[in-house]
Amino acid sequence: MSAAISFLFFFCLFLVFYTYIGYGIILWIAVKVKERFMPPKKPELLEILPEVTLFISAYNEAKVIDAKMENCLLIDYPEDKLKIYWVTDGSSDKTNEVLAGYPDVTVLFQPERRGKTAAINRGMKSVTTPVVVFTDANTMINKGAVKEIVRAFTDPRTGCVAGEKRIAVKEKDTASSGGEGAYWRYESALKELDSRLYSAVGAAGELFAIRTALFEEMPEDTLLDDFILSLRIAKKGYRIAYCKNAYAMESASLNMKEEEKRKVRIVAGGIQAVRRLLPLLNIFRYGWLSFQYISHRVLRWTITPVALFLLIPLNIALLLMCATPIWLYQLFVAGQIVFYLLALLGWYLAHRSIQSKLLFIPYYFLFMNLNVFKGMVYLKNFKGNAAWEKAERQY
């Protein structure tokens, strides 16, 4: 009996380690080996830039439109080749009134709100440029972002380009900004390595681009439109390039309650995406893409959180059974207790501004994994309405 429990304990431990640390190590080694024999080529400089559509889906974003438009107008790209589209379906504030002050902007509006995916499906019917860049109303992109993204498309194998998401952190952070900022720095490093090995695994809606010809309408109940859209393109044999020189700056969630809204919805969307992208689990057909997809995404949204929270009860069971070597299980349980105590301290300080961002990491890690279970419940009760409540941000 103890042997079976011991096996399960070490399997869970391996799963947690592999998902959050081991995969990154393997990825780093694989990239170094690959680039030793196949040095990466720099994207070509384009003499003639293609026309690009900057596509912004917005719902009741009147308070950020002027700042977003100022940001858009500062983009370093020929004015006659950059079209700006706003899809504002269902907006009931002054969003459309504010946008009316920008005559060079195309505004697509309908009174009915059916969610972001439906807005993208509808808006894409009007896009005529070969490249479309998606960005959110509340994120600011760097001046050279569009040129950097367009350069990445000089590789014919590239069907999608993922920009980098950055969280604006302060000298003294709350748990939401400190934890989210640390998480996205780690995510960005993994995405870059994924891209260098074969393909990034999905794109974040704050900033990404696709070849317009590769767009396919998505079911309107899709929760993670950016992820589904980008992975569908990868499924066709194209790669998702990661472009760290094109980035979107976004404020962190106002607090952990607002961050929880976001995380639960994202996890629900991730599990929904795993169901809808089942063929990508076939590593014999999709090779490296499947390996990266399973390691970087699928495990996080499915069995790894279960394994994480099984570790403590399994560890205690082994101690009660006096499994050998007993000192090893004592060491493991002591390490887990320390980790959970640090997370508890992070929870206590969640609504306070302090300088030590490290205290937020254990709390945010557990917070993310707990929200996987809440995401499962959310998806189980999901009635197909993809219009979701926005998380309030720090401004």
Q: What is the CATH number of the domain that holds 131?
A: 3.90.550.10
Q: And the tokens for 200? A: 């990034």
Q: Structural domain tally of the chain? A: 1
Are the C-beta atoms of 122 and 188 separated by less than 8 Å? no
Please name the residue that has the structure tokens 């105590």: 341
Q: Is omega for the bond preceding 305 within 30 degrees of 0, making it cis?
A: no
19-39 exposure pattern, b = at least 16 Cβ within 10 A, e = fewer: bbeebbeebeebbeeeeeeee
Containing domain of residue 313, as a range?
1-395
Helix or strand run (H / E) with residue 225: helix 225-235
* Rounded Cα gap, residues 263 and 259, in angstroms: 6
Are the C-beta atoms of 149 and 133 separated by less than 8 Å? yes
Are the C-beta atoms of 264 and 270 separated by less than 8 Å? no
* Rounded Cα gap, residues 235 and 99, in angstroms: 37
**What does the pLDDT profile of the chain (395 residues) look like in tens digits?**
788 999 999 999 999 999 999 999 999 999 999 999 998 887 777 778 999 999 999 999 999 999 999 999 999 999 999 999 999 999 999 999 999 999 999 999 999 998 999 999 999 999 999 999 999 999 999 999 999 999 999 999 999 999 998 877 655 555 555 566 677 788 889 999 999 999 999 999 999 999 999 999 999 999 999 999 999 999 999 999 999 999 999 877 666 777 888 899 999 999 999 999 999 999 999 999 999 999 999 999 999 999 999 999 999 999 999 888 999 999 999 999 999 999 888 888 766 655 556 677 888 899 999 999 999 999 998 877 766 666 565 55
For residue 118, give Cα distances in angstroms to 112, 311, 387: 10, 42, 9
Residue 395 burial by Cβ neighbours in a 10 Å radius (0-12, 13-18, 19+)? exposed
